[in-house]
Chain A
C-alpha cells in the first residue's frame, strides 16, 4: 500500500507543479538544485542513520526482556542455573547478615565540597560511574582526587567522601560489575538491604585515617552490631575483597583494642559478632605490582601501551607526556597504595638466589601459550639459564642481564650514600611535583647502578627515591615480620594490617576463608631501564624489550601463577600455612580454608566476563565462588563446603618459606 502511494505521489505532484506553476518554472528547478547540495546530502545521511538507529532502539526496547537469554540458550544450550537459584532449590535461605568490604579502586567516591571548577558536581561521583568528569576537566578532577602531601588527608577546601550503601561498589562503571552479581544471588536467598551492608570507606586514605576523618571503623562496628541485633543474634559473615582484606584485618585488631586508639569493643567482640571472614583475592602479603606503581607509575598494561605505540605516551600531543607524572603525583598521595607493598621481606618473597616459586613453569598452567613456541637457536643458553633461575626474588632488576645473572656475578654499587643532586629542579616541572625532581642525576644513576632489588631492598629504594611519601606511609604501615608478637610496640595501629606482625583475635569459632583465582599469569618481578632523561619525566620505566623464550618474562615483567593481580603466594600463604592450626599468628587456632578457583576464560562472547573466571575482579562473578559464599551465608561451615580446594603449588611454595610459626 505504502509502496504504491510512494510511487504515485511524486508523479502526480510533478504534474501539478508543471501545470500550476508554469510561471515559476525557471525558479523551481534552481531551488531544488541548490537544496541537493553537499550539506543536504549530509543531513539526509544523518537523518537516515538516526531513523534507522531509532527504529533499532525501538525494536530493542520493544523486545521482550528474556530475548537475549533465549538466543543464548538457542546457541549454547541451556544455561546453568545461577547459583542463587540452585542453592535456593536446595532449601537454603537467608541466615547470617552479610558485610561487604570493597577493595581499592573499585568503590565510588563523591564530592561534598570542592573548588569553583566543580560547580554542579555536588554529590556526584568523581570516581566510579561514568568518569565523565575525567575527560571534561581533567586537571580539576585531579585536583580533587589528590590528598594532602603532608597529612594524607583532605587538601583544604576539598571534601571527597566515599559513597555509602550497596551502590558504592556494585558496579564500578556502567556494565562492569564488582559486587552486583553476588548481591543479586544473595537477594535470591532473601537477602535485602536490612541484612546486607557495604562497608564502604575512602580507599585513598590509610586505614587508621578513615577512622580519624570519617569514623568509618566505628560505623562499621556499630553497623555490624546493629545487624547482628536485628537478625536475632545471628553472627555476621564478612566478605572483603582485595585491599578490603587488609582493611578488615586492621578492623579486627582495632575493634578489640582499647578506646583511644581502638574501638573499645573488648576482647570477645570478634567471637561474639563474626561467623566467618571470606577473603576474596586478598593481598595478605602485598602485591609486587604496587612497587612499579609507586616507583614509576606504571604496570604491565601501561608498559604494553608504551611498547605498542612508543610515541603516544611520550608525545607532547594531548599533554600525554605529563600524564604519567600526574598520575604519579596523585597516587603517591594515597597512603593506601603503600598498604600493598610486599610484606615479609626476603623471608617471604625470596632473596637474590631463591624464591618460593622457583621452578614454577608457566607452561603448565598458562593455557594460552603452553610451550608452542619453538625456541630460537640463538637463545638456547638463555632458555636453559632462564629455566633454572627465574629469579623472582629480584623484584626489580636494572637490565635483563642483572635479572638472570647469578648472584656472585652481580656488581652492585650501594645507592644509599649517594648524594642527590639539586640541579634539575626545573621550575616548569613544579606543577607536576614528584619527588624525583629532588633527586638529581647522581641519585638516579646510583639507583640504577645497584642493579637488583629484593623485597627488603625495595623498601630502602622507595625510601631513597620518595622519602616524604615513605615517611608518611611508614607511620601507618609496616612491612616486617614480628620477632615477638607480645612486644607492646605491636599495639600500635601501623602493625594491624600486616598479618605477619599481628595476631588474629581470640575467636576459636570463627572461620577464615581465602578464596582466589589461579591460572592467570601475574606480575611478580620487573626488568627496568632508564629513560632518556627528558626534563620532567619519571627517570625509570619498565624495559618492555626484555623478553625471553618461555613466557615467564614478557615485556619486562616476570609472571607467576595468580589471579592477574595478586600472586598465589600472597593470597594463599597465611591461610595455607601462617594461620593453619595454632600458630603464633593465630593463637586461638581459628580454622582456615583455602578455596582456589581455576581460571577458565569465557567460552563465548555472550557470557560477558565469564562465569568461571579467576581474575581478580571478575572472580566476583564466578559461579563456584558465589555458591560457596551463599552456602556460608546460609549457615554452612568450611568443612561442609569440602575444606580446602587447591589447584596451584601453594603448599609446596609455603613449605619453602622459613618462618617461625
Chain B
C-alpha cells in the first residue's frame, strides 16, 4: 500500500517536472524563434545593430519589419519583465533596509516602561512564573502519523516559527494531530503532541502577534533572565489534572518554583497567570498542598512558603459565556460575522471544506474548553428575569455621540417598541434565546415547555454513516433539534443540561474533571476531588495569609454575554443544527449581530474576572479562610492612536493587555517587591462593585 502511494506521489512529481520542462522548452523554443526572426546572433540579448545580410533578409518581410521588436515583446516576456522588475526593486529595498543603521535617531519609539522603572531603581527581586492561557501556548509534535513525518519537534500550534503554515499544506493531517481521543481526552493512539517548553512557548502566538513577549522584555530590563523567569507551559487542550497524569506538568511546575526559590536566595515567587492560566493555577494551588496520590504532597504550608503573589491577568475565574457558543455551534462573534458577510463561504461543500464542522469536531475533544463554561449557575449569571449586569449602559462615550442621530430616527419611526425596550433591562441571564423576541419578553410571556425531554435518551436515530467529521449532533434527529429550539430560552443551568443532552459523551468525559456549581459546605470531603479545584466557588484558597491575589483586566470593550440563536437552514442533513442569528440587531449597541454585549475585555466579562477578587475572596470569607489580601486593578481600553503603536500601548483587549503600559508597570513593581497597597490598592473603572452586590453568593 505504501509503495503504491509512493508511486502515485512519484507520478505527480514527474508530471509536475514534465510540465516544468515543457515550460522551459516553450521559453527556449519561442525565444529561438523570435531570435531567428529578429536575427540576433545569441539568444537572450536582442541586438540593435543588424548586419547588412540580415537587413536584406528582413527587407523581404517588409510588412513585419517595423514590428520586429514588438514581436519579441510578448506576453510571457512582459510577465518576466514585470516579475524581474518587482524582484529587483524588492531586493533593492531589502538591501536598503539592511544597511540603514539600526537605530535611526528619528525612528525611536516611545521608551518602554521597563527602562523607565529601571532608572527609578527597580531591580529583579522575586522570581517570576508565567502561566499562559488557552490557545496561546505552543504545541509541538513528538510522534505522529506518516503524513506528519517531517514535522517532528516542529510547532503544530502557535509560535514565531513555522507554526501554522502546515494548516494550509495538509489541513486534515493537521486536524488529526490536534484532536484528542474522544473517550479519554488524552492522546489518540500513535500521536504525541506536547507543549513547547520555555519562554518561547507563548512569547509570540504568531509572527508579530505578541502574547508574553513585551512583558518578558520589560522584565528583562530590570534584570530578569531565564534563571528567575519560568514559563509554565502546559498542554492547554487537556483537562488540568490530565496535564499531570500525562506530562507531569503540575509536578514540574512545583519543582521549578522550588528550584527558583532556592536558587534566588529564598525569595518567594510571583505568579502571573493569564486567561485560563488563572484557573489552571487555582487548580495547582489546591493540588500542590494535598497529599501524594491525588495531589502534589507539598504539605499545608507550601503556598505560604513559596508564593508571594498571584497576579491574574484577564482571569476567567467564573467562566465565559462564549464557551457555550463555542461548544454548541463552534462559533463566536467573529465567526458569525464572517458568515454574515460572506454567507456561502463557510457552508459551501465546495472542496469538501466544512470548516466549522471540523473545528467543532476537534475542539470538542479538548476538555479544557469545558473549564471555561460559566460557573456558579443562575446565582452568578442571572436567570430568566434577572442578571447582575442589568442596567448596564452599552453605549461607550464615543459611540454615544456617533449614534445620537440614528437614535433620534429610531425613536421617531418605531416609537413605542423601542421605548418599551429602553425601560426594560436586557435579560442577560438568558444566555441563549431562540429568536430575538424570546430574548426580550418578560418571563411570564414565555411559552412554558418542560425541559424534561433533555433527560430522555438521545438515541433517536443513530445515523449509520458517521462520516469523517463526526460530531455528536449526527446521532440526533431533527425533531430533537426542533424541541430544543421551541424551548426558546436557556440560562446557564439550563445550558449545562442542554449540553449534556446534545453532547453526552463529551460532557461525561469533561465533567469528571470540572464542576460548575457553588459549594454549600466547603468542608465536605467530596471537595477534595480534583474536579472542584479549578472552580473558585467550590474550593478554598490555601492557608497563606501573606499571599496577595490580584485581578488585573481590561474594561471598556463590549464583550459577548448572551446570544440569539436560530435553527440552521434544514436542507443539509449533517452539520450543526444551530447558529447565531446574526440578523438580530437591537436599537442600541447592546445587541449586535445576535450577540448581547456587556463590559469586559472582549473575551471575559467584568463579572467573571473581577467578582472573586472584589467580593468572593475579599476579607475573610469561606472561600478565603485565611483572609489573604485581594486587589482589583482595571485598565480602561483606549484604541491605538496611530498605526505606529501596533496593537496599542493602552489597549485592554484580552491578549493585547499584555502590552498595556500601565499593567506592565504594575507587574514590574510587584515583581520588584511592591505590595498591593503600595500600588494604590484597588483601581476600578467599571460597575463591578454594583454588580457584585447583586450576586447573592453566601460568603
Contacts and interface: CB of A to CB of B under 8 A. Distances in A.
Nearest to A25: B66
A192 B194 contact: yes
Interface string A191-232: 011100000000000000000001110110011011001100
Nearest to A211: B263
Residue among A9, A55, A159, A194 with the most chain B CB within 10 A? A194
A230 B251 contact: yes
A111 to B, nearest CB: 10
A45 B259 contact: no
Nearest to A41: B45
Nearest to B23: A55
Interface stretch (B5-13, B346-354, B409-417, B561-569): B5-13
Interface stretch (A114-122, A377-385, A530-538): A114-122
Interface in B240-269: 247-248, 251-252, 255-256, 258-259, 262-264
Nearest to A136: B98
Interface residues of A, number: 77
B95 to A, nearest CB: 12
Contacts of B73: 32, 35-36
Contacts of A120: 102
Interface in B72-90: 72-77, 79-85, 87-88
A360 B691 CA distance: 88
Given A67-B9, A70-B10, A43 B81 contact: yes
A36 B259 contact: no
Contacts of B262: 218, 222
B83 A51 contact: yes
A218 B259 contact: yes
B227 A47 contact: no
A408 interface: no
Contacts of A18: 67
Interface string A377-398: 0000000000000000000000
A184 B153 contact: yes
Interface in B138-174: 142-143, 146, 149-150, 152-153, 169
Contacts of B220: 112-113, 122-123
B199 A187 contact: no
Given A44-B80, A67-B9, A123-B216, A29 B23 contact: no
A215 B228 CA distance: 10
Nearest to A230: B248
Contacts of A47: 79-85, 87
Contacts of A20: none
Interface string B80-114: 11111101100000000010001100000000000
Contacts of A44: 77, 80-81, 84
Given A6-B75, A165-B197, A184-B152, A29 B103 contact: no
A651 interface: no
A17 B64 CA distance: 12
B294 interface: no
Contact of A59 (B16, B79, B81): B16
A40 B80 CA distance: 10
Contacts of A190: 143
B44 interface: yes
Contacts of B12: 62, 64
B27 interface: yes
Contacts of B449: none
Interface in B1-45: 6, 9-10, 12-13, 16-17, 20, 23-24, 26-27, 30, 44-45
B198 interface: yes
A193 B194 contact: yes
Contacts of A48: 27, 80, 84
A25 B169 CA distance: 51
A36 B46 CA distance: 8
Given A66-B6, A192-B142, A116 B20 contact: no
Interface in A18-69: 18, 25, 28-29, 32-33, 35-36, 40-52, 55-56, 59, 61-67
B638 interface: no
Nearest to A191: B142
Nearest to A64: B9
A162 B225 CA distance: 10
Interface residues of B, number: 75
Contacts of A222: 255, 258-259, 262-263
Interface string B535-546: 000000000000
A112 B225 CA distance: 7
Nearest to A35: B73
A150 B161 CA distance: 39
A43 B81 CA distance: 5
A637 interface: no
A136 B101 CA distance: 10
A187 B74 CA distance: 55
Contacts of A166: 153, 197
Contacts of A59: 13, 16-17, 20
A183 interface: yes
A214 B259 contact: no
B259 A223 contact: yes
Given A3-B26, A123-B216, A223-B259, A43 B142 contact: no
B9 A43 contact: no
Most chain B CB atoms below 10 A, which of A3, A43, A188 = A43
Interface string B197-241: 111100100000000000011001100011100000000000000
Contacts of B64: 14
B101 to A, nearest CB: 9
A178 to B, nearest CB: 14
A426 to B, nearest CB: 30
B345 interface: no
B225 A64 contact: no
B192 interface: yes
Contacts of B467: none
A36 B44 contact: no
Contacts of A445: none
A254 B562 CA distance: 61
B71 interface: yes
Given A165-B198, A226-B251, A219 B192 contact: no
Contacts of A10: 70-71, 74
B152 A187 contact: yes
A164 interface: yes
A10 B30 CA distance: 12
Contacts of A226: 251-252, 255-256, 259
> Which of A113, A122, A193 counts the most B-chain CB atoms under 10 A from its CB?
A193
B153 A29 contact: no
Given A29-B67, A159-B225, A214-B227, A219 B259 contact: yes
Nearest to A195: B248
A17 B66 CA distance: 12
16 contacts: A6-B75, A6-B76, A18-B67, A28-B70, A40-B81, A59-B13, A59-B16, A65-B149, A67-B10, A136-B98, A164-B199, A192-B194, A194-B248, A194-B252, A222-B262, A225-B255
What 9 A-B pairs have minimum CB-CB distances, sorted nearest first?
Answer: A47-B84, A47-B80, A46-B84, A43-B84, A226-B255, A64-B9, A215-B263, A47-B83, A222-B259
Interface of B: 6, 9-10, 12-13, 16-17, 20, 23-24, 26-27, 30, 44-46, 48, 64, 66-67, 69-77, 79-85, 87-88, 98, 102-103, 142-143, 146, 149-150, 152-153, 169, 192, 194-195, 197-200, 203, 216-217, 220-221, 225-227, 247-248, 251-252, 255-256, 258-259, 262-264
Given A10-B70, A66-B9, 7 more contacts: A46-B83, A48-B80, A161-B225, A164-B199, A184-B153, A192-B192, A218-B262
Interface of A: 2-3, 6, 9-10, 14, 17-18, 25, 28-29, 32-33, 35-36, 40-52, 55-56, 59, 61-67, 70, 112-113, 116-117, 119-120, 122-123, 136-137, 159, 161-162, 164-167, 170, 180, 183-184, 187-188, 190, 192-194, 214-216, 218-219, 222-223, 225-226, 229-230
